[in-house]
Amino acid sequence: MEMDSFRLCYVATATFCTIFLLRSFLTKKRRRLPPGPAFALPFLGHLPFLEKPLHATLARLASRHGPVFSLRLGSRPAVVVTSAELARECFSSDLDATLANRPHFPSVREASFDYKALTLANYGDHWRAARKVTVLQLLSARRVDLMSDSVIARELRAMVRRLARASDGGAAARVELKKRLFDLSHSVLMEALARSRNTYSDDGADMSEEAREMKEVVDAIVPLVGVANLWDYLPVLRWLDWRGVRHQLADAVSRRNAFIFKLIDGERRKLQLEDAAEAEQGMIGVMLTLQKSEPEMYTDTFIAALVANLLGVGTETTSTTTEWAMALLLNHPAVLKKAQAEIDARLGADPGRLLDKTDLPHLPYLHCVITETLRLRPAAPLLLPHEAAADCKLHGYDVAAGTILLVNAHVINRDPATWDPAPDEFRPERFEHGAADGKLMISFGMGRRKCPGESLAMRTMGLVLGTLIQCFDWTRVGDEDVDMDASSGTVMLKTHPLEALCTPRPGLHALLHHI
């Protein structure tokens, strides 16, 4: 009797396994997957063949396999999109909601408060709440105007003074721009978040103590997370961890969290001591006020995750794009002179003031310079990865739930079909007089997950770049072109931070007396 029961169990198990394997085989055969490289290694998939920078490797694969192709990243299936047509299909249709999730990588969990950061959270109630408070309390048109009139203007004046002091007696001074640009972006966000002003250890400092601390943290975290991190696709590396990645990431995240919770505690004490109007509160103060009525939603962790996201993404991307813009201008002095002449013409009747937000609509060529920079050097050359929440169809191909979607913005922004002539050249004139209207450029993303900070970023970059051009003459250090090599990673950073020579323009010292 026992033997018969054993045989029956064995037959049932074997039958079930056979049916399961047969069904899986037939389902796989019925699926129409995008094309892709034929050879993949067991467990590793195509990971060993993906050289850095990843966006360049994916561009080469697209030239062989077409504008949509498949990869296997360890155990994770992925689909790569490299054309404007397919980007529109992904994010301008019903497909947008299906592809609105984020892949939950182990490294991201460490850095995002268990996937609660706005840019890394899955599409759902938590994401909607975080986006709502961000858009209404930090990035609304009214808030951006207030920041332009007060915070950005004040920080720009401070940066101009520090640069002028660096130019002893009006001589050309060699400066590293990235630190100063990061400092300004950080200052703007700190004021918006916590009404906190940066402090400097000395007048000649190129960064405040707070900005230096945050930049060290950002520089430590960014290379350890993201789509190009092997650790995320091969769990065994997480446990072997021979390079100490887990320890490095945990240390950087711990330092960042201590900084953020100190901000939150400081804002909580301010609220206890003063009954500030909502308009006068920083974003943290607004969320702490909301916490009183909705404590289950606006927890300290919710607030910290959003603050970490804004400080990490907002400072690095804006300062990096402005740095790329200055590098491109230094390599194209005629474009720099044209932008400078436009600003001089606008302010010619009132040379005793700095450029402000009211001038930006009257500086179309400056806007063209920034837009062309974003086209050629998008801060995120691969948009933050998406993940399919359910089985779906893309361009007639089957995409299974859980598939990672990578969108190569770097390639789309240089597509010859859209951007000829000379799609790889820096030509701001291609945007003049509406010549590029209707052409897709996705430097800020698309659809539901599009970056909500575009308006603030464009305003900040316009004011910063315009002020630098208005107040100083800029030249390269030496006769060689500025090195335009980019590092690999989630954010397209310059491999070598930009150094340039700045000379105060005539009338700057008189202008400084007025500001």
Percent of the chain with pLDDT over 90: 56
Note whether residue 22 is domain-resident.
no
Q: Is the pLDDT of residue 311 over 60?
A: yes
45 lies in some domain: no
The residues, ordered by sequence, that sit 6+ positions from 306 with a Cβ below 8 Å of its Cβ are 117, 118, 130, 133, 134, 287
CA dist 249 and 226 (Å) reads: 12
382 in a structural domain = yes
Q: Do the domain assignments include residue 5?
A: no
pLDDT, average across residues 86-99: 93
Do 376 and 410 meet the contact criterion of CB atoms below 8 Å apart?
no
Q: Is the pLDDT of residue 24 over 50?
A: no
- Closest C-alpha among 231, 450, 462, 482 to residue 354: 462
Domain membership flag for residue 4:
no
pLDDT of 232 reads 76
236, containing H or E segment: helix 235-240
Give yes or no for residue 239 having a pLDDT over 60.
Answer: yes
Share the mean pLDDT of the chain: 86
Per-residue pLDDT tens digits for 174-204 = 999 998 999 898 888 888 888 765 554 445 5
Q: What is the pLDDT of residue 12?
A: 43
Q: Which residues of 418-436 are buried (b: 16+ CB within 10 A; e: fewer)?
A: bbeeebeebbbebbeeeeb
What domain range is 367 assigned to?
54-514
Query: Above 80 in pLDDT, residue 294?
Result: yes
Two structure tokens written together for 379: 């801060």
Q: pLDDT tens, 100-148?
A: 999 988 888 888 999 999 999 999 999 999 999 899 887 888 888 877 7
Buried b (16+ CB within 10 A) or exposed e, 235-248: eebeeeeeeebbee
Helix (H, G, I), strand (E, B) or coil at 501: strand
Q: Indicate if the pLDDT at residue 11 is higher than 50.
A: no
* pLDDT band at residue 170 under the 50/70/90 scheme: confident
pLDDT higher than 80, residue 416:
yes
Q: Can you give the pLDDT at residue 281?
A: 74
The tens digit of pLDDT for each residue in 28-76 reads 457 899 999 989 998 889 988 988 888 999 999 999 999 999 999 988 9
The answer to which of 321-325, 451-455, 480-484 has the lowest mean pLDDT is 451-455
Cα distances (angstroms) measured from residue 134 to each of 10, 270, 303: 58, 21, 11
**pLDDT the model gives residue 227:** 56
For residue 421, the domain's CATH number is 1.10.630.10
Give the tens place of pLDDT for each residue, 466-490.
Answer: 999 999 999 999 999 999 998 877 8
CA 82 to chain centre: 19
pLDDT at site 313: 84
Residue 387 has what pLDDT? 97
Cβ contacts of residue 136 below 8 Å, gap of 6+?
none
- 343 vs 146, which has greater pLDDT? 343
Q: Count Cα neighbours of 117 within 13 Å in the Cβ-side half-sphere.
A: 21
Provide the domain count of the chain.
Answer: 1
Who contacts 61 (Cβ-Cβ below 8 Å, separation ≥6)? 36, 37, 69, 71, 80
- Which of the residue ranges 14-23, 227-236, 439-448 has the most confident prediction, judged by mean pLDDT? 439-448
Report the pLDDT value the prediction gives residue 3, as an integer from 0 to 100. Answer: 45
pLDDT digits (tens, 9 = 90+) for 75-84: 899 999 999 9
Enumerate helices (H) and strands (E) in the chain, giving the number of each: 22, 9
67 exposure class (CB count in 10 Å sphere: 0-12, 13-18, 19+): buried
Please report whether residue 15 resides in a domain: no
Report yes or no on 458 lying in a domain. yes
Of 130-139, 256-265, 504-513, highest mean pLDDT: 256-265
Burial of residue 357 (CB within 10 Å: 0-12, 13-18, 19+) is middle
pLDDT recorded at residue 314: 84
Q: Distances in Å between the alpha carbon of 54 and those of 114, 335, 407, 491?
A: 26, 30, 12, 11
pLDDT(157) > 80: yes
Residue 1: band (very low, low, confident or very high) from pLDDT cuts 50, 70, 90 = very low
451 known member of a binding site? yes
With bands split at pLDDT 50, 70 and 90, how would you rate the model's confidence at 236? low
| 324 pLDDT above the threshold of 50 | yes
384: DSSP letter: P
pLDDT at 109: 86
Average pLDDT over residues 230-242: 67
Q: Could you say which DSSP state residue 148 is in?
A: I
